[in-house]
Amino acid sequence: MKIVVIGGSGFIGSKLVKELRELNHDVIAASSGVGANAINAGKLIELLKDTQVVIDVANAPASEDKAMIEFFQTSGHNLLTAEAIAGVKHHIILSAVGIEQMQGSGFFRAKKVQETLVKGSEIPYTILQATQFFEIVRGIAQAATIGGEIHISNAKIQPVASDDVASAIIHISLGAPLNITLQIAGPDRLQLDELIQIFLDETNDPRKIVIDHRALYLGVEIDSQSLIPKENALIGKTRFLDWLKKQDQ
């Protein structure tokens, strides 16, 4: 089966390309910006010729809110239009849990735009929303650090291993399109401060945690429901502490 991975050289995309090729599929790793340039519409259609599945795991090349929204709007429109012409049978995107609750964040608004385009297109689709990857926990702690203290909310969080997310996307890509939104999270539901404390303890980090109920996450206030999935979410197999211990090996 021919599968095109948009963002195929990125963090998640490279995992998908490697594993799908090991399963003997014809996989093309496409640049994350390939769908964003309308001038290359003809090349995009050629790229998608005889493609059954497109997996879009591209990240916006800019972090500014307007630029992110414009990227997902343009790339999503161009990609879906080219897929319709090429006869693609299944369009898959990786999105994020918490979109509806966190529209104050430019990133989540941009992902909402992307999801809306996919749902409104004629291409059969599956959307996978993931919770926060284990790999960003260090960054969460760093962003919340003031002096020697980490000021952070005690809202619930259920992070997931990126490898488990990649495995879920591969499973979805080999099946029929579902035309629904799925969610995936890790097996551990913790308070955000508990998660950060586990990270600090395991890495021998002396910083102290200060619980601040109004601390921002991606610039947005969060509550107990903002970062956790719905009850029917897929659950990854990897526990955070087990994953963290392996990072030291």
The Cα 123–Cα 192 span in angstroms is: 38
Task: Answer whether 20's CB lies under 8 Å from 173's CB.
Answer: yes
The Cα 100–Cα 119 span in angstroms is: 15
Output DSSP code: residue 121: S
CATH number at residue 109: 3.40.50.720
List Cα–Cα distances, 98 to 74, 132, 224, 247, in angstroms: 23, 10, 11, 27
Task: Give the range of the structural domain holding residue 209, as residue numbers without chain letter.
Answer: 2-247
pLDDT in tens, the chain (249 residues): 999 999 998 999 999 999 999 999 999 999 877 776 655 667 888 899 999 999 999 988 777 888 889 999 998 999 999 999 999 999 999 999 998 888 888 889 999 999 999 999 999 999 999 999 999 999 999 999 999 999 999 999 999 999 999 999 999 999 999 999 999 999 999 999 999 999 999 999 999 999 998 888 877 888 888 899 998 999 999 999 999 999 865
- Work out how many domains the chain is built from and give that number: 1
DSSP H or E stretch at residue 45: helix 41-47
How many Cβ atoms sit within 10 Å of the Cβ of residue 182?
A: 18
Q: What are phi and psi of 10, to 5 degrees?
A: -85, -170
Burial class (CB in 10 A: 0-12, 13-18, 19+), 150: buried
pTM reported for the whole predicted model: 0.92
DSSP H or E stretch at residue 30: strand 26-30
Task: Answer whether 39's CB lies under 8 Å from 64's CB.
Answer: no
Q: Find the helix packing angle between 192-202 and 240-247, rounded to 10°.
A: 30
Task: Say what the pLDDT of residue 249 is.
Answer: 55
Give me the DSSP letters along 155-199.
-EE--B-HHHHHHHHHHHHTS----SEEEEE-S--EEHHHHHHHH
What is the C-alpha end-to-end distance of the chain, expressed in Å?
37
